[in-house]
Structure 1
């Protein structure tokens, strides 16, 4: 009888130790877990895709798997469901949760209030007054300035365009940098370049973007830089339609945004020649930011309550050589060096 009692006590003790061990490991892993919540496609060849790449890079560096103890993304149908997506990530015990763009701002604020022990990140916007929220901004104006330099050098008609998405401070930053870059380079080249600009009003209406692009190209614009997110697909459709009916040397150009969008510019020109109408792409290193913030959280150094700005100086903003002629690429690199040296102020 004593033996049976002793055996039972040992079994109970082992079970308790096992349960404690499992719980501690799970909690430890969960404290390193990160999630991305978005209302857009994760493979949008733009902001979301770049953000997700950063989390995958984070997982790879720290040997974490995709899933509840590592990294994951939650894609919801629309902006109204962002709060549901964030709450789902919270229920699955992700510690650091990223919201992409100012569309997720109110959902992040609500979640931060209710979950003070969780970390939240707002990308491309600012949230003040919460110690568990980090705000991330990018020097969009720096990359856009370089796009402006390339545009002023490339245009043959001296008419260029800018298509923005929603009417917000981020798009205003893009426009400001682009306009200054065009103006500075045009002055240097003794050109008089006209800029047409218009916002879609959101980041999803491809039909509206297509209409705006058609109107600009009809005015003899030959280079358009877009910062319209998924809506920018309408611009690419218009450019492809126009270019397919022209010789390659007379093509109109598009400048991509946030990620390398050169694949969207592949087409066959009149006569069957394979060509590409994406002059360059302005890269927003969202992957640099998401990986950096996730790593800080892993090291228990989450920058809660702070705003972190990424730009040219930490390679979080850049521009690709794309289809630029060597002399134009050289001008862009000169401008980049001057921005970094403080000789060009945007």
Structure 2
């Protein structure tokens, strides 16, 4: 018998009500060239056009707005590779809640600048040498902050799942949804929301080949941990192990997890720009990168383009540089 899930569809609908008039109902876009690549109709949910540039605002706002008055006054803290930091910062600014975020020393400066501009206090840590969660817990204990994780939270997963609700209202005939997997919160929220609407829909997670912690966990039948911090251009997905709460959902509801190379991710960034006129960051383009050659169910497929927080120089450098012959052969 399957274990009870730590997130229900009712939680996602509650989040949708809280977000009404606050989050952006992002567009669902298509293009014949993407249909040809996939061999079926493709509908892209463009969370790169969400407030702060990613789906993360949905979960962060839902979590902050649900705090008690005392919790709001004391402030919140979260660890982030950048997008959750900006999302928490905006949620805090809108709701008058002090925000502190712990970020790796090597994340893109644009993501740091975005959180700072929205009023967050920034604490940096070395990704390979320091335990970010220990830093968060210590600061929370010392200063009375409420910890709001980027994925391992019912409220955050519920908010993330509202993107799938919107997508299936915009494109109700989808037979599958491709969704990026990092900590797993977006995939978990997507699976709960989508399967409530259509129990037969296939929700397929997509990870960078070098950061396949969820795929490895599925193979092992339990939470697995990568030996080192993954080396991938998808900086938002460099997790060594899935977050426990999303994992409980994803192991039961995901149809599977596939992986893509960095070369495929860059190619997908180019597709998003060329065909949809959308700037996608590497982590945001991961699901789109899985379109080519994936064995999908018959019928239209949805793709969540989860974020667009990439600076102009990095985007140009990645997309404008042609792949080597070896890279092209791997794509």
Larger proportion of strand? 1
Larger Rg: 1
Structure with the bigger RCO (C-alpha within 8 Å, sep 6+) is 2
How does the TM-score come out when normalised to structure 2?
0.33
